[in-house]
Structure 1
Amino acid sequence: MRPLTRHGTSRGAARAVAVVAALSATLLLATGCGVTRGPQSSDLTMLIPNSPGGGYDQTGRAAIAVMENDDITGGSFEVTNVIGAGGSVAMTRLMNAEGDDRTMMTAGLGVVGSLYSFGAPYKLDDATPLAQLIEDQEGVLVPPDSPFETIEDLVEAWQADPGSIVVGGGSSPGGPDHLFPMQLASAVDIDARNVRYVPYDGGGPLTSALLGSKIDVGFSGVGEFTGQLASGELRLLAVSGEERLKGEGISQAPTLTESGIDLVFTNWRGVLAPPGISDERRAELIGMLEEMHETPEWRQALEDNGWIDEFKTGDEFTAFLQEQDERVATTLEELDLL
């Protein structure tokens, strides 16, 4: 595990590491060590770095459902949601499970950002990268009674007085729900350093903040809010990808480029294993995910959730993680957050 000098050695960073370690220890005591597995067991554990119903949870459970239904692993999964510090607590737990070749964890851009925000001494590729599973579009969300009827309404008000608009997202600084509004602000000639961003730990708390008028606009993965959008509990002003998405309460939302904003932004999610597992076992776990990826059930999950099929494994995925780390670091430096 290499030192991450970009996170610095300030007392603030040291305190953040201590907080993550303490939270991780508490969770370990509260939840135990997972499944009791004998030496010949094929059962696996999947760690999810946010609350039930969030993007990591949806992706992980969809993959698990396919692998269990098609008997790809020869066993079953225990799913453990490890909540706290935007994914850093889960990442700490994964790193502490060195050599455990029956544990996996979903991860993505949000965890990259949380590791910076909380001063963790490792990066995603310090674990064992297995596969990227998907890309996911972000959405611009408002409550039903919002004065912003269109993305143009929001941009006009934001440009007129950036400090008057409070935005929120389900990730720590450096995560997708933070990076997206910062890049959107820059795309419409607003100084991103003037954006008032409030982080929440996943889609549930973000929805509560929107409906409780604690924030004006939310930025997060569209797939996390299909129910609220279909029921009219939330409204979708725009999506961040190259094409519109399907679904009730979703399909009418334009892309940013349709609205004259020169920005395309996507999030991603993948799977890691702990550090220190054998090359042979890494290949076996990758093979399971490759088999899962080729099934009709997985293709249906992609369609149902509006996910983009962006699958890569092994060394290609490792290189991608390193690029994503640099993507986050560069943005945080530009915002004077590093």
Structure 2
Amino acid sequence: MPEVDRNEGFPPPRVTAIAAGSPGGGLDLTARITKDGLEAAGVESFVSIENMGGGGGNPARAAVLKRENDGTTVVFESNRVLLSNITGTTDMSIDDFTPIAQLTTDYEVWMVKTGSRFDSAKSVLDQLKRDPSAVTFGIGTVPSDDQLNVLRPASDYGVENLNSLKMIAFSDGGDLNNELLGGRIDVASTGISEAVELVESGDVEIIAVSAPETISSGPGAGVPTWQDLGMDITINHWRGVFGPAGMPEEAVAWWREALEASVASDEFTSQAEALGINPAYMAGDEWLETVIRPEEAESREVLEEVGLAK
């Protein structure tokens, strides 16, 4: 590849998308279907994807801030961009970044190995009420919606001593799935997109979905929601694109136009449907005010309640 003249303006011949996760995880998959969507939409810039997993997304976000703030490097990330600051794993906050666009939403699920002693979410929660350390949960990363998808139902169900809950964090969804199949964890809390292949293979069963109402298609079809179990809980796991704060306006405008075209493409839509995730483009200003800021306040409240906010 020839070196990019970073003073050429937009669109540049090449841009870099850092996926804040390992290959095969939800952020990696989102970056890759976005790249395919950009190509399908005729966006000419070549997108180079870099995987940077681990560390709760902190290394990936730090890498974007360390690079030249010329708009050619962005990071694909989830709400860890705000959760990590709340839990004190980094000094970086949402104010250090420019929210460019939300791309997808995805519900969280609880899944168990087929034939598990737990045949429903209620059976898990009843066990936790008797002994909060009696169930081993696997989650993709800390902090994350995977984690909140355990803490919030347990809290609402009246489980005491939430600090005794056993949650093991893995570097990404692939490792999590292997641990579930190997019987080393009882319940995996993860996004639907990372459960699709295992559900289709018959190796696992989904026993709870964090949707606002029972969903009618895909791997979580017909599965009880937290709402069905009497808890006012909806967790809509979003993924989107961020640049550094102070990103050039022409770069932000180009990225938003390009990403909107990608999400609207048939290629993106078909791949998203196969993964069980929802195309949900939203420009960064609206995303920040209607989704990110309210979620930041709600998450802080929940994490303070269980003693995880710093």
| TM-score (norm. length: structure 1) | 0.82
Partner of 2:273: 303
Partner of 2:55: 85
3-state DSSP of counterpart to 2:159? coil
Is 2:261 the partner of 1:277?
A: no
* Alpha-carbon distance change, 120 to 45 in structure 1, aligned in 2, over 3 angstroms: same
| Cα separation, 1, equivalents of 2:227 and 2:296 | 26
Provide, for residues 238-259 of structure 1, a one-character-per-residue CA deviation record: whole Å limited to 9, x for no partner: 2110232523x54342323334
Is 2:168 the partner of 1:187?
A: no
Please state how far the C-alpha of 1:98 moved relative to its aligned partner.
4.1
Is 2:286 the partner of 1:333?
A: no
* Alpha-carbon distance change, 227 to 35 in structure 1, aligned in 2, over 3 angstroms: farther
Please state how far the C-alpha of 1:71 moved relative to its aligned partner.
1.8
The one-letter code of the counterpart of 1:204 is G
Given that 1:106 and 1:271 are in contact with CA atoms closer than 8 Å, whether structure 2 keeps it comes out as: yes
* Alpha-carbon distance change, 114 to 202 in structure 1, aligned in 2, over 3 angstroms: farther
Question: Number of paired residues?
Answer: 302
Q: Which has the higher contact order (CA 8 A, sep 6+)?
A: 2
Partner of 1:28: none
| Cα separation, 2, equivalents of 1:264 and 1:321 | 15
| Cα separation, 2, equivalents of 1:312 and 1:125 | 19
The one-letter code of the counterpart of 1:37 is V
Is 2:175 the partner of 1:205?
A: yes
Is 2:11 the partner of 1:44?
A: no
Is 2:291 the partner of 1:324?
A: no
3-state DSSP of counterpart to 1:269? strand
Which stretch shifts more, 276-285 or 135-144? 276-285
| Cα separation, 2, equivalents of 1:245 and 1:266 | 16
Which stretch shifts more, 153-162 or 228-237? 153-162
The one-letter code of the counterpart of 1:134 is T
Please state how far the C-alpha of 1:260 moved relative to its aligned partner.
4.1
* Alpha-carbon distance change, 261 to 328 in structure 1, aligned in 2, over 3 angstroms: closer
Which stretch shifts more, 306-315 or 233-242? 306-315
Please state how far the C-alpha of 1:115 moved relative to its aligned partner.
4.0
Given that 2:105 and 2:280 are in contact with CA atoms closer than 8 Å, whether structure 1 keeps it comes out as: yes
3-state DSSP of counterpart to 1:201? coil
3-state DSSP of counterpart to 1:79? strand
Provide, for residues 207-227 of structure 1, a one-character-per-residue CA deviation record: whole Å limited to 9, x for no partner: 122123322111010111211
Is 2:208 the partner of 1:244?
A: no
| Counterpart pick for 1:172 among 142, 148, 167 | 142
| Cα separation, 1, equivalents of 2:168 and 2:2 | 36
Please state how far the C-alpha of 1:261 moved relative to its aligned partner.
4.0
* Alpha-carbon distance change, 116 to 35 in structure 1, aligned in 2, over 3 angstroms: farther
Given that 2:33 and 2:272 are in contact with CA atoms closer than 8 Å, whether structure 1 keeps it comes out as: no
Provide, for residues 112-151 of structure 1, a one-character-per-residue CA deviation record: whole Å limited to 9, x for no partner: 3234446322213412210011221001011123101122
Provide, for residues 278-324 of structure 1, a one-character-per-residue CA deviation record: whole Å limited to 9, x for no partner: 11221111111122233233333342222234332132223333333
| Cα separation, 2, equivalents of 1:42 and 1:120 | 33
| Counterpart pick for 1:289 among 249, 259, 267 | 259
Partner of 1:11: none
Please state how far the C-alpha of 1:76 moved relative to its aligned partner.
1.4
Superposed, 1:1-338 pairs within 5 Å as 36-39=3-6, 40=8, 41-72=12-43, 74-117=44-87, 119-173=89-143, 175-191=144-160, 192-241=162-211, 242-244=213-215, 246-247=217-218, 250-319=220-289, 320-337=291-308, 338=310
Regions of 4+ moved over 6 Å? none
- Kindly indicate which of the two structures has a greater share of residues assigned to helix: 1
Given that 1:138 and 1:266 are in contact with CA atoms closer than 8 Å, whether structure 2 keeps it comes out as: yes
Partner of 1:26: none
Identity of aligned residues (%): 27
Given that 1:237 and 1:254 are in contact with CA atoms closer than 8 Å, whether structure 2 keeps it comes out as: yes
3-state DSSP of counterpart to 1:163? coil
The one-letter code of the counterpart of 1:333 is E
3-state DSSP of counterpart to 1:162? coil
Given that 1:134 and 1:310 are in contact with CA atoms closer than 8 Å, whether structure 2 keeps it comes out as: yes
Given that 1:135 and 1:309 are in contact with CA atoms closer than 8 Å, whether structure 2 keeps it comes out as: yes
Given that 1:293 and 1:299 are in contact with CA atoms closer than 8 Å, whether structure 2 keeps it comes out as: yes
| Cα separation, 1, equivalents of 2:82 and 2:305 | 17
Measured on the aligned residues, the alpha-carbon RMSD in Å equals 2.2
The one-letter code of the counterpart of 1:50 is G
